[in-house]
Amino acid sequence: MRILLVEDDLLLAQGLSTALTRMNYRVELCTTGKQAIQAASESQFELMILDLGLPDGLALNVIKSLRSLKHGIPILILTAWDHLETKIEALNAGADDYVLKPCDIREIEARLRVLVRRHQQRQLDQLQCADLTMDLTVHECRYQDRLIYLTTREFLLLKEFMLHQGKILSRQHLEELSNGWTGETESNSIEVHIHNLRKKTKPECIKTIRGIGYMMVNQYED
């Protein structure tokens, strides 16, 4: 799952990024509202963590701009502003949650899951695709009731497939998800990760759509 973190304080951004990456999220960082709007428009993110006090003004305009572009990305406000009016204004503008700094990273992560769950109209954090199950709460994956070990990138990719079963995910999106904006960009790295996932689960579960990308089929023959 890719998260767009919009935070101008680099120390805090670095800390949040490290903590969320450890929890199997891919975090991309923007430090201004302008960058955030551009990133959200050009890349696919599951969620945005937005600081309100950005160098180029109050981030309420970011929310308003995204919503005016019909961008439905869930937005979690993480800010030091605790004025009631600001909270109401942010939520009315289209933010999905409002968290006050300082906040424990576990709470932030739990709120992220809630937002994504709500956005994807799921009720549980347990994903299932035939014999394959994934528990987003504890970051575990089981195939035929057997716990399988996945690397961070494999977990990220598999989670993405399971969240979007039956939908084609572009190669570019998967690469961004796997490598991030600053990661390595070997052209065959996605193939390697997909190969590993097929090996650890069932080869038929992830189907290659030539020239476009990959798709998880939710009904395959065992």
Residue ranges in contact with other proteins by CB under 8 A: 8-12, 14-16, 18-19, 22, 31-32, 54-56, 80-83, 100-105
Helices and strands in the chain, H and E counts? 8, 14
CB of 204 to other proteins, least distance (A): 34
Instruction: Look at the alpha carbons of 102, 105, 111, 116 in this order and tell me if their dihedral is positive or negative.
Output: positive
Nearer to other proteins, 56 or 89 (CB): 56
DSSP per position, 124-144? -SEEEETTEEEETTTTEEEET
- Find the shortest distance in angstroms from Cβ 140 to other proteins: 17
Q: Which is nearer to other proteins, 40 or 54 (CB)?
A: 54
Min separation Cβ 79 and other proteins, Å: 8
The span from the first CA to the last CA of the chain, in angstroms, equals 27
The pair of three-digit structure tokens given for residue 171, joined into one six-digit string: 């190669």
Residue closer to other proteins (CB basis): 102 or 211: 102
Shortest distance, position 9 Cβ to other proteins, whole Å: 5
DSSP secondary structure of 36-75: HHHHHHHS--SEEEE-SEETTEETHHHHHHHHHTT----E
